[in-house]
């Protein structure tokens, strides 16, 4: 069975501090990993996906197959990064049905 674990319910940092939101997964095979973000009063939207290897709003995430992790990182947090972040996984083993983690609430203080 595929599973996504986000160990932190809440992450609280000050503006300018580095941020790392953790995501670990369980999956047999090669999964596709995603980070979704939900800002206050906005719909859930894709932040980035591992196959794109891109940086969005200063965030990056590297797929580590050895550690089965896909942690989201940003070197200098901004107040506008405050949001709910969800890690998600899909793959052929699960008929490409996306599975989400429980989410991490990021609060960036001024």
Neighbouring CB atoms inside 10 A of 23's CB total 26
Neighbouring CB atoms inside 10 A of 17's CB total 13
Q: Which of 34, 35, 59, 70 binds other proteins (CB under 8 A)?
A: 34
The contact mask relative to other proteins for 83-102 (x = CB under 8 A, - = no) is: ---x-x-xxx--xxxxxxxx
Of 11-19, 41-49, 57-65, 69-77: span binding other proteins (CB under 8 A): 41-49
Of 19-27, 42-50, 53-61, 69-77: span binding other proteins (CB under 8 A): 42-50
Q: How many residues does the chain have?
A: 110
Residues in contact with other proteins by CB under 8 A are 6, 9, 32, 34, 36, 43-46, 49, 86, 88, 90-92, 95-103
């Amino acid at each position: 069975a595929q599973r996504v674990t986000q160990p932190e319910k809440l992450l609280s940092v000050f503006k300018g501090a580095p941020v790392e939101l953790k995501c670990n997964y369980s999956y047999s095979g090669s999964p596709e990993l995603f980070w979704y973000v939900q800002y206050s009063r906005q719909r859930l939207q894709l932040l980035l996906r591992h196959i794109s290897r891109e940086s969005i709003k200063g965030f990056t995430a590297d797929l580590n197959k050895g550690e089965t992790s896909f942690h989201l990182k940003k070197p200098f947090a901004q107040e506008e990064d405050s949001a709910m972040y969800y890690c998600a996984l899909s793959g052929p083993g699960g008929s490409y049905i996306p599975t989400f983690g429980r989410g991490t609430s990021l609060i960036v203080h001024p």
